[in-house]
Homo-oligomer: A and B are copies of this chain.
Amino acid sequence: MADVHAERRDRLRGRCSAAGLDAALVTRPANLRWLTGSAEPRALLLTRDAALVDAAVPTPVAEPDGGLSPVPVPPGADPAVVLAAHRTGGALGVEEHDLTVTRHRAVVAAAGAGQVRDLGLAVEQLRTVKDEGEIGFLRIAGEIADQALGELLESIMVGRTERHLAMELERRMIDHGADGSAFPVRVGAGDHSGRPDHVPGDRRVEDGEFLTVALGACYRGYRAAVTRTFVIGLSPADWQAELHRQVFAAQRAAREALAVGSGCDAADLAARKVLDAAGIEPQRAREHGAGEGVGGGVGLEIGEEPHLGPQELGKLDNRVPVTVGVGVCIPGRGGVRIEDTLVVRPSVDGGPELLTITTKELLAL
């Protein structure tokens, strides 16, 4: 992977030159991992001819490439400040959306006032379109989440608590090779079902209720998410079947709105149109950091660029993985939430690639 990360650093160097920056100080963890291939570095100083990382690192997660020069950082010292002092002059770009005011002040003091500027979201923007290697990791992450969910569906649900079902899913994902859970697994039973951000508690699964399960696997740092809603018992009630049908239709419409060159607002508008026709107000996908909308980009983080919200002005590119989730919750009764992870692909390649293939039909468990 060494070549890949060195090439990414060169692309960032190009961005820096274009912005009149002589060096970049990267501190955001996901950006560091994308640029180094390792979860270890806490800071990276990228100059025209060098890439310095802090040397005080824990157990390796992935093999960093050979192009990185380690710099010793004393215990308790801020790696960003130590690396900033190593710069060779000129304008230094820092991640103002990651550095706290306090850390930024120390970096400026170390780098020299007037020399420090905002790198902005340069690395995040480079990360938005994935290479096939990254998509391969996301595909495996989706498979792992599907496997864990499939196994859970074969077990007895009634009487178990949301929290225990969530823990079992996390354990099964790790059994299937995940680094860990992409985010805390969310399990909502009864009136907790259908919510996008429910924290699993001691509520037990009961017969005749909805059960919503949202999980995601992290594989080699890449995160895919899937959400499904089931009904417990022999068969769903009419209101349950009807609500599920409407949410499924809205989420399908959102998925089908994903196309190369289409607007980032298209998926949300498509889902909303279906739900509005049914007189329903959708839950929002806030828990994925996407703000109002049906989802957002995924990769080393959940909720990367782009955001799939109604006010988004950008357009979708090829090889952009996103989550698309729609939920409806009826206070006191519960609801349905359905979410997939997909990769935007051109129609000549068959359109969006679905990474989470667990059935979306309303299973009675």
User: What is A's interface to B at a CB cutoff of 8 Å?
Assistant: 56, 58-59, 61, 74-76, 96-105, 118, 163, 167, 170-171, 174, 192, 195, 197-199, 201, 284, 286-287, 291-292, 309
Contacts and interface: CB of A to CB of B under 8 A. Distances in A.
Contact of A198 (B59, B96, B197, B198): B59
Contacts of A284: 75
A215 to B, nearest CB: 15
A96 B103 CA distance: 9
B291 A76 contact: yes
A99 to B, nearest CB: 6
Q: DSSP majority for the A interface?
A: loop
Task: Work out how many copies of this chain go into the complex.
Answer: 2
B100 A99 contact: yes
A58 B198 contact: yes
25 contacts: A56-B286, A58-B197, A58-B198, A58-B199, A58-B287, A59-B192, A59-B197, A59-B198, A59-B201, A74-B292, A75-B284, A75-B291, A76-B286, A96-B100, A96-B101, A96-B102, A97-B101, A97-B103, A98-B100, A99-B101, A100-B100, A100-B101, A101-B101, A167-B174, A171-B171
Nearest to A75: B292
Contacts of A97: 100-103
Given A76-B292, A286-B75, A291-B76, A199 B61 contact: yes
Contacts of A170: 167
A201 B170 CA distance: 15
